[in-house]
Amino acid sequence: MQQQGEGDASQRIARISAHLNPHKPQMEGSCNLETENCRAKGGAPGFKVAILGAAGGIGQPLSLLMKMNPLVSVLHLYDVANTPGVTSDISHMDTSAVVRGFLGPQQLENALTGMDLIIIPAGVPRKPGMTRDDLFNINAGIVKTLCEGIAKSCPKAIVNIISNPVNSTVPIAAEVFKKSGTYDPRRLLGVTMLDVVRANTFVAEVLGLDPREVDVPVVGGHAGVTILPLLSQMKPPCSFTSEETTYLTSRIQNGGTEVVEAKAGAGSATLSMAYAAVKFADACLRGLRGDADVIKCAFVPSVVTELPFFASKVRLGRNGIEEIYPLGLLNEFERVGLEMAKKELAGSIEKGISFAMK
């Protein structure tokens, strides 16, 4: 009996070790478990999610919050450095998602195989005086490499791109998937949720409302003047003076710069970005589950305007994007803003496409 108990204990220990270190063959073999099928005892059913760039400034709080999401059954954390520590730390949380860490390019394929949703916050952050375009050369290469891995290992996954500049990185991802023959425009989404979160918060401050009761659609793109809050379509309906409209629009467009300057060289909007990314990821998972009327704003392949990519309201479902909504009625301020946004956005999109075509 004692030998039986010791054997069971050894099996349990080996099982836990396999979860934490799936890349070590001896760990897998010790409990006869395949990495993709390895589940924690008692783990809840749900979706498999991978975070690429999990050890970074956005990646760590994003990983923490996704571990708390009851829709996640397996959470893969990938980065080129520091993944073991982040994985160990987050795996101690008493929520149902099984956490596994993957370190370096040689483990990217294992990190991606079998995933339902991929979230990409990988890249360098903005620093004081740095525009999103300054990030381009570094982050563009990172996103291209990761998307090549996705095309190979999990071509049917929903892909949420956070890495800036989103106005260029989403077109890069699209071109990579086109080259590989795996492109599905329904499954590629640039995360602009932080613009919506900021819009809801800043408008609620002005009106004296609870931000959770405010919903401001934000369209266009995810940088500067390409960010266009449609205050005329907010819920609950409200009218603003021209001064209030100008103030709110400017603050929403420059929210990222506000945080960068406040952190004085110590980083960018990592915590609020992680919060917004999790709100959007949760919406994608609810769509995959089959929930009705899951509607969020995102930067997606689009025919809403003449541009090939544009942020607007989309309905999410089992295949990713099920419907893209038109812009609706705009006021004069918003029509002028839309033309400015499209002009700026066209150059950013072309820059991404050109990079991917090299």
Which residues contact residue 178 at a Cβ distance below 8 angstroms, ignoring those fewer than 6 apart? none
- Annotated binding residue at 57? yes
- Annotated binding residue at 224? no
Neighbours of 95 (CB within 10 A): 16
- Annotated binding residue at 32? no
- Annotated binding residue at 287? no
Is 222 one of the annotated active-site residues of the chain? yes
Identify which of 168, 124, 155 has the alpha carbon closest to the alpha carbon of residue 307. Answer: 168
Are residues 153 and 105 in contact, defined by beta-carbon separation less than 8 angstroms?
A: no
Cα distance between residue 153 and residue 180, in whole Å: 12
Which residues contact residue 3 at a Cβ distance below 8 angstroms, ignoring those fewer than 6 apart? none
**Looking at 19, 23, 92, 222, which residue is catalytic?**
222
Residue type, 344: E
Placement of tokens 């891995």 in the chain: 149
Strand partners, 228: 219
- Annotated binding residue at 328? no
Bridging pattern class, strands 158-161 and 72-79: unpaired
- Annotated binding residue at 55? yes
Full DSSP string of 6-45:
HHHHHHHHHHHHHHH-TT-HHHHHHTT--GGG---TTPPP
Strand partners, 298: 312
Q: Name the phi and psi angles at 22, rounded to 5.
A: -65, -15
DSSP label at residue 132: T
- Annotated binding residue at 163? yes
* 79 three-class SS: strand
Strand partners, 301: 309
- Annotated binding residue at 114? no
The token pair that represents 275 in the structure block? 């919060």
Rg for the chain, CA atoms, rounded: 21
- Annotated binding residue at 56? yes
- Annotated binding residue at 139? yes
Are residues 227 and 194 in contact, defined by beta-carbon separation less than 8 angstroms?
A: no
- Annotated binding residue at 97? no
- Annotated binding residue at 162? yes
Binding-site residues for substrate, please? 126, 132, 164, 198
Binding-site residues, please? 53-59, 79, 126, 132, 139, 162-164, 198, 273
Binding-site residues for NAD(+), please? 53-59, 79, 139, 162-164, 273
Residues forming the active site = 222
